Structures are given as structure tokens and as C-alpha cells.
Chain A
Amino acid sequence: MFSFLPFSKKNVIVSFEDDAVRVIYGSNARGALRVDDSLTLKSDQFDSFIENERAKNFTVVKHFKDFFQETFLIPSVKKKFIKNLIETEIRKKISIQDFSYLYSLSKEKIVENRKMKKAFVFVVRNDELRDIVERFHRHGKRVSAIYPDIYVQAEMVKSCNEGTALCVSESGLNKNLFLVKDGQISFIRSLESDEIGLNDFDIENINMTGDYLWQTLRTTPSRVILLGSVCFNYNATKVPMTPAASFLPPVNIAQSREFSLGFISPISALFGKKELTLLPVEYKSLYMKQALIVYATVLFVLLSVTGIGSIANTANNIMETKKNFRAVRNSLPTLGSVLNEYDTKLSELDKYKPEISYSNKLSSAHDFQKLLYDLSSTSTTGLGIDSIDLNINKNVFESIISGSIVADNYETMEKHYQNFLESLNEIEGFRVIDHNINLERKYFRVEGSYR
């Protein structure tokens, strides 16, 4: 349904040949030609066929009676300018403005000191092409490609033969003579005959065409190739001046040789290339739009699928998060009771705040008991303590200790006194600031600080 390219693997090829319509179901996968089914219809049966056919895309081969061919020289220019040049030349030479065309270019050659190329064009009215496409569109079908029968036949012949060949095929009573040179069609002649197959009149025409080719194109075909039904309807007594041979399509088909020759046009369409289609640009554009819409739709579908996957994932996450949320919420104690208890305790604590802060402030008060205890451990041998004065000044203990020394001599007196001073200094935090001793009165006085 979505394929708009002319070379899908499985093709339904419809060949319009005078009053007959031949249809084949075939494929050309990697060069392996295959025809699975075929049928021949009368022209008036075609609409009911197309109506009932399940395939959506069709390849069309058509024998164009009304076409224009011309050979002319164009300057050797860049590839992108060639189409414009050729179109301009065609418009100069024919009166129709709405057309589709195929062209082939010869090798470059010097003409009047200019590099030139010989162009051969095959032009068909777009009206005729539209009639074909619309006939399919009416039934909701699409045309992937429209091939002129001689072009696909030439393509098929090219695949098996080298050199210059004059090909002869027929479509109804029409005989098609076309020259395949260097793999390209460089001349076409379509002649009305009085019967199916080849007779003497047709042989004469072939010989005359050979002469004409020599006179005008300076080319002589090395052989005459008979294509399709002309191979088995040879009723002539005369023989062509150029050696003639029948061409058998290289197709893997179950049907007979006669079948492959009779269905030569649709079979040759399996060799069709993108460059050989005459499908008007408007339809290519239409199919391109369709394809873009389809691809965009597919993209939307893919995005939707991805989105749905993401939604499922997010939904899963939400379930998990909700579960966590409930777990946390359930683990919370009753808000009111905790808050009430907290407030009650806080207000109770607040009531005792002055006492607490007061108690904290005074708990760091100076410890007289400890200092007195520490002083009791000092060495007082030979000393008589008269007074101990302990006061607080700027958060530091100031102490004044005075007394008398009992000793027989100065040396002993000094010894006792020094022992006392040393023991004072050994008290942690105590520092002797000043001291004096009166030897006459045997009296001492020590000032110290304690933190």
C-alpha cells in the first residue's frame, strides 16, 4: 500500500496493447526474473479487473501510437542544464506544451568546432498519460510507472545483446522498429501493417529502414532482433538483408515459449528503470506527498507506541512512589498528639527558663571548697599560718597567706619557706605572684592567684 517506487519486489504489470490488456504478476529481485501469473483481458474488461484486484500499485506498459521523436544537437553542458535545454528544444519543435519525454544522449563530438551531443527524444502528450493514471485512480489504485513498450523492450535486449541492433516488435497491427545503439534507442519507426506477424510487406519495410538508417544516421545494424509475437508469426517469403534472430526473454516462468513471446511487453517491464518512466511530475509529486504522509503517520504511530511504553513505565513509577508515600504517611505518629505534647513540654520548660538559666549561670561559680582543699595539701612544716585571705577579683581568686616560721636557724627557715612556696606552685592553677619574708620577725607573706 505504501510503496510508490516503481521497482517494488512484487509487481503487477499491465500492458495496454491495442484492444488487449495483458497482465502479469512478476518480480525482478536482484536480476532474477520471475513471472508467477498472467492473464489477458479485453479493454472493456479491464475496469472490472482493476476494481477487484487487491494490489494497490501497478506498473503500466503502453504502446504509444501518438508520439513525437526527434534527434537534435545540443551543446555539451553540465548535467543539471541538459533537461532544460532539451525541453526548450522540444517546445521549439512541437506545438504541444504539456508533455512528458524520455531522452538519450550520444557521446560528445566536435561539430563546427563546438563540443556537441546528439539528443534523441521521445515525447508523449500528458493528456494521454493522465487518462491512463486516472483510469487507475478511479478505482483507488496507483500507477508506479508508465513505460513505453519499446523502451523496456530495448532495455531487455540491451541486457542480452551488444552492438547495434534493429529490433522489431508488434502491438496489434502496429509494427515497431527501433534501433538500439550503444545501449540506447536512437531511432523509432511505427508502421501500420495489414496483418499480425511479419509478411513480405513488413520485411520490405525492415530493409527500407536499414537503408534509411545508413543514409541518415550512417549506421548499419549488425542484426535484426524479432521480439514477441512476430517470432512465431513469420509469414514472409522474403528475408531481411540483415541477419534476423528471435529473442527469448530470460525469464524463469512456468509457461511456454509462446507465452513469453506473447507477453513480451509486460515481461520487458520487469527490466524497467526509474529513468524510463513517463509518469507525469504531478503524479510523482502526489505519490511523494502520499508517501510523506504515510511515513509521518508511521512515525506518529511509532512515537505513540514509545509514548505508551513510557506511560506504562511512568505509571509503574507512580504506583511505586504512591506506595512509598503511603508507607511514609502510615509510619507518621498522630500529628495532633505529638504536637500537643511538644507544646505542653515546651511551655512547661518555658516556665522554668529563669531558674534553668540562673542555675546554669551560677553553676560556674568559683569553687572555694576546692581551693581550700588544695591549700590543705601544701607543705607547712615549720610554718605557722596566721591568716588565709581568699577573694574573688575579676573572676580570679586572689589569695594572701601570712604566718610565721619556726626554725632554729636561717637555713632551716629558708628551707621550710621554699618548700611551702614550691608546694603552692604545685597546685594546679595556682601561681605565686609575690612573697616576702621578714627574717627579724620570722614572718612571711605570700600573694597568689588561682584560676
Chain B
Amino acid sequence: MTDQSMLARPLKIHLVAGVFCSLVFLTFLLLEKYNAHLESETEKLSIVQTNFDQMIKTVDQIDLTLDKVRAVLPADYEERSNRELMFMALDEMRSVLKGADIMVSDFVENPELKEIRIPINIFVPLKTYRAMLENTGYLQSLKFPFLTINGIRIEKTESHGTAYNINSILRIPMRKFEYQARMGSDNEDE
């Protein structure tokens, strides 16, 4: 047996062991990488799950908000125009504020503030202070359209005795389509 042949067999075994060892470690590395990838994906999926939970909560919150909005909006808000709603509010005001003299100016549309407004001056003879408080509260509680009070003057008059004068604005937001249409026509004009 030559020197080379004496080394050949151990070398072959060594080579096989080396290749096997390399395969084992390659497999180990691949599995480790796969495991890391899997862990990363699981983590991402957990984030997705959290986001899903958040989305479900958000949907619930949106529902609550929509309920609140719908509760505030007039029942036929969708069907009626803003002008109609404002006229309806004026009519209601007249019926609630008995004996009041309501002076109305023209409609003013303000695309920048995205609203339609009517300046209103309400003159009401003062029956009782409590009635005045209630009327003021009623006017402040109006929604769609809203009534913004700019000033109140209570004074003694010769003709009506004590009376109060409410300087206010009846206002309602422009609908999205109205606003878009308005902005569109303005652009066309330009």
C-alpha cells in the first residue's frame, strides 16, 4: 500500500464528513433564515391583527359619530335644499317667538366659508326675563341651520315697553356638491 493509498481512504471519509457537515450547516442556516422570516411574518400579521382591531373600533366610532350627526340633522335634510331648510327654520322661529318681529335680509353665499347665511334682526317685546332666556336658548340651539347671535340689546321703548332686539345670522353649511359646483363655476368664470 503506497503512502497515497494509505491517505486515500481517510481522505475520502474526511471529504464525505466535510460535505455532510457543510450540508448540515447549510440546512441549519436555511432553517434559521426560514424561522426568522416566519417570525417576522407572524409579527407583521400581529400588527395587521392590531390594525384590524383598530379598524373595527374605528368603524364603531364612525357609527357613533354618524348617529350623532343624523340626530342633529333635520329628518329630511337630504331631500331638502339649504334655502328650504332656512325658510323652514324661519317659519318655525316665527311660530315659537310669538309676537316677535323678524326682519330678514337677502341670502348671502360665502364659498370661502362654505356657508349660506341670512342676517336676521329679531325684535321681541319682553314679557318675562325667563321667556327671554328660553327664547335665547331656543335660538342658540337651532341646528342646520344654525343661528349665531352677534348681539342682544334690552331696552325700554315707548311703543312696546321693555323689549329685546337680537342681531343674528342664520347660517347653514353649503352641501359638498353645492360647494363643488360653486367652486367649479367660479373657476369657469375666471
Which residues of A pack against B, CB within 8 Å? 137-140, 142, 282, 286, 289-290, 293-294, 296-297, 300-301, 303-304, 307-308, 310-311, 314-315, 317-318, 321-322, 324-325, 328-329, 331-333, 335, 338-339, 341-342, 345-346, 348-349, 351-356, 358-359, 362, 365-369, 372-373, 376, 385-392
Q: Which residues of A contact B2 (CB under 8 A)?
A: 137
Decide if B114 is an interface residue (CB 8 Å cutoff): yes
User: Quick check: B154 and A300 within 8 Å, CB to CB?
Assistant: no
User: Quick check: B114 and A390 within 8 Å, CB to CB?
Assistant: no
Q: Which residues of A contact B152 (CB under 8 A)?
A: 368, 372, 388-390
**Could you list 11 A-B pairs, sorted by A, with CB under 8 Å?**
A307-B25, A321-B35, A322-B38, A325-B45, A332-B52, A345-B66, A354-B173, A358-B114, A359-B69, A365-B149, A391-B151
Give 10 nearest A-B pairs by CB, closest first. A307-B24, A358-B173, A300-B17, A391-B151, A387-B155, A300-B21, A345-B62, A388-B154, A137-B1, A293-B10
Q: Which residues of A contact B52 (CB under 8 A)?
A: 332-333, 335, 338
Looking at the assembled complex, report how far the CB atom of A371 sits from the nearest CB atom of chain B, in whole angstroms: 9
Given known A300-B18, A328-B45, contact A342–B59 (CB-CB < 8 A): yes
**Closest residue of A by beta carbon distance from B65:** A349
User: Quick check: B31 and A315 within 8 Å, CB to CB?
Assistant: yes
Q: How far is the CA of A107 from the CA of B10 in the complex (A)?
A: 45
Q: How far is the CA of A367 from the CA of B137 in the complex (A)?
A: 9
Q: Which candidate, B99-107, B128-136, B182-190, is the interface stretch facing chain A?
A: B128-136
Q: Which residues of B contact A286 (CB under 8 A)?
A: 3, 6-7
Q: Is the interface of A mostly helix, strand, loop or mixed?
A: helix
Looking at the assembled complex, report how far the CB atom of B155 sits from the nearest CB atom of chain A, in whole angstroms: 4
Q: A332 is contacted by which of B49, B65, B140, B146 (Cβ under 8 Å)?
A: B49
Looking at the assembled complex, report how far the CB atom of B143 sits from the nearest CB atom of chain A, in whole angstroms: 7
Q: B56-96: contact bitstring with A at CB < 8 Å (1 yes, 0 no)?
A: 10110011011001001100000000000000000000000
User: Quick check: B31 and A314 within 8 Å, CB to CB?
Assistant: yes
User: Quick check: A318 and B38 within 8 Å, CB to CB?
Assistant: yes
Q: Which residues of B contact A310 (CB under 8 A)?
A: 28
Given known A307-B24, A354-B176, contact A138–B1 (CB-CB < 8 A): yes
Which residues of B pack against A, CB within 8 Å? 1-3, 6-7, 10-11, 13-14, 17-18, 20-21, 24-25, 27-28, 31-32, 34-35, 38-39, 41-42, 45-46, 48-49, 52, 55-56, 58-59, 62-63, 65-66, 69, 72-73, 114-115, 129, 132-133, 136-137, 140, 143-144, 146, 148-156, 171, 173-176, 179
Looking at the assembled complex, report how far the CB atom of B142 sits from the nearest CB atom of chain A, in whole angstroms: 10
Q: How far is the CA of A355 from the CA of B132 in the complex (A)?
A: 29
User: Quick check: A341 and B59 within 8 Å, CB to CB?
Assistant: yes
Q: Which residues of A contact B136 (CB under 8 A)?
A: 368-369, 372
Q: How far is the CA of A386 from the CA of B133 in the complex (A)?
A: 18
Q: How far is the CA of A367 from the CA of B35 in the complex (A)?
A: 64
Looking at the assembled complex, report how far the CB atom of B49 sits from the nearest CB atom of chain A, in whole angstroms: 6
**Closest residue of A by beta carbon distance from B70:** A352
Q: How far is the CA of A356 from the CA of B65 in the complex (A)?
A: 9
Looking at the assembled complex, report how far the CB atom of A423 sits from the nearest CB atom of chain B, in whole angstroms: 16
**Closest residue of B by beta carbon distance from A140:** B1
Q: B14 is contacted by which of A300, A325, A342 (Cβ under 8 Å)?
A: A300
User: Quick check: A317 and B35 within 8 Å, CB to CB?
Assistant: yes
User: Quick check: A352 and B31 within 8 Å, CB to CB?
Assistant: no
User: Quick check: B151 and A332 within 8 Å, CB to CB?
Assistant: no
User: Quick check: B32 and A314 within 8 Å, CB to CB?
Assistant: yes
Looking at the assembled complex, report how far the CB atom of B24 sits from the nearest CB atom of chain A, in whole angstroms: 4
Q: Which residues of A contact B6 (CB under 8 A)?
A: 137, 140, 142, 286, 290
Q: A307 is contacted by which of B21, B38, B153 (Cβ under 8 Å)?
A: B21
Given known A304-B21, A311-B28, A365-B140, contact A325–B65 (CB-CB < 8 A): no
User: Quick check: A290 and B62 within 8 Å, CB to CB?
Assistant: no
**Closest residue of A by beta carbon distance from B34:** A318
User: Quick check: B42 and A367 within 8 Å, CB to CB?
Assistant: no
User: Quick check: A392 and B35 within 8 Å, CB to CB?
Assistant: no
Q: Which residues of B contact A386 (CB under 8 A)?
A: 155-156
User: Quick check: A342 and B24 within 8 Å, CB to CB?
Assistant: no
Q: A289 is contacted by which of B7, B174, B175, B176 (Cβ under 8 Å)?
A: B7
Q: Which residues of A contact B137 (CB under 8 A)?
A: 369
Q: B49 is contacted by which of A142, A289, A328, A387 (Cβ under 8 Å)?
A: A328
Q: How far is the CA of A315 from the CA of B32 in the complex (A)?
A: 9
Q: A331 is contacted by which of B49, B148, B154, B176 (Cβ under 8 Å)?
A: B49
User: Quick check: A321 and B62 within 8 Å, CB to CB?
Assistant: no
**Closest residue of A by beta carbon distance from B156:** A386
User: Quick check: B38 and A354 within 8 Å, CB to CB?
Assistant: no
Q: Which residues of B contact A282 (CB under 8 A)?
A: 3
Looking at the assembled complex, report how far the CB atom of A294 sits from the nearest CB atom of chain B, in whole angstroms: 6
User: Quick check: A307 and B133 within 8 Å, CB to CB?
Assistant: no
Q: Which residues of A contact B42 (CB under 8 A)?
A: 321, 324-325, 328
Q: Which residues of B contact A345 (CB under 8 A)?
A: 58-59, 62-63, 66
Q: How far is the CA of A317 from the CA of B32 in the complex (A)?
A: 9
Taking A304-B21, A325-B41, A372-B132 as given, write out 15 further A-B residue pairs in contact, using a Cβ cutoff of 8 Å, ordered by the A residue number: A286-B7, A294-B14, A296-B18, A297-B13, A315-B31, A318-B35, A325-B42, A331-B49, A332-B45, A332-B49, A335-B52, A355-B69, A368-B136, A386-B155, A387-B153
Q: Which residues of A contact B129 (CB under 8 A)?
A: 372, 376
Q: Which residues of A contact B143 (CB under 8 A)?
A: 359
Looking at the assembled complex, report how far the CB atom of B125 sits from the nearest CB atom of chain A, in whole angstroms: 15
Q: How far is the CA of A338 from the CA of B20 in the complex (A)?
A: 51
User: Quick check: A368 and B24 within 8 Å, CB to CB?
Assistant: no
Q: Which residues of B contact A333 (CB under 8 A)?
A: 52, 56
